Amino acid sequence: MPAQRAPSEASQPSQPGAARTLQRQLRGLRTGITLTALLGGLALYIFLSQLGLPGVLAAILGFVFALLGRIAMVSLLRDWLLHASRSRK
């Protein structure tokens, strides 16, 4: 097993509360993404129900839409954060 390197001081937050603040912001972003995907799936469920699709099929399609939407939004957020961190260097 290769020896593990100690994290450099550049990767450590400069203030003790900075890591806690960053974790809180990331938790908020994840919660917002999850709620947005949930509302999108619910809207699709209601739309498909109004079109006359059976409730189970509409619920499954709404769930799949919410799941795929959440995955896509998390991926976009991850790409944006990586791009922002590279441009700050």
Q: What is the pLDDT of residues 25-79, one digit of tens each?
A: 889 999 999 999 999 999 999 999 999 999 999 999 999 999 999 999 999 999 9
Residue 47 and residue 71 in contact, taking contact as beta carbons nearer than 8 Å = no
Q: Where are the domains of the chain?
A: 28-88
Rounded Cα distance between 37 and 73, Å, is 8
**What angle do helix axes 55-88 and 16-51 make, rounded to 10 degrees?**
150
Among 24, 20, 36, 25, CA closest to 70: 36
> What pTM was estimated for this model as a whole?
0.72
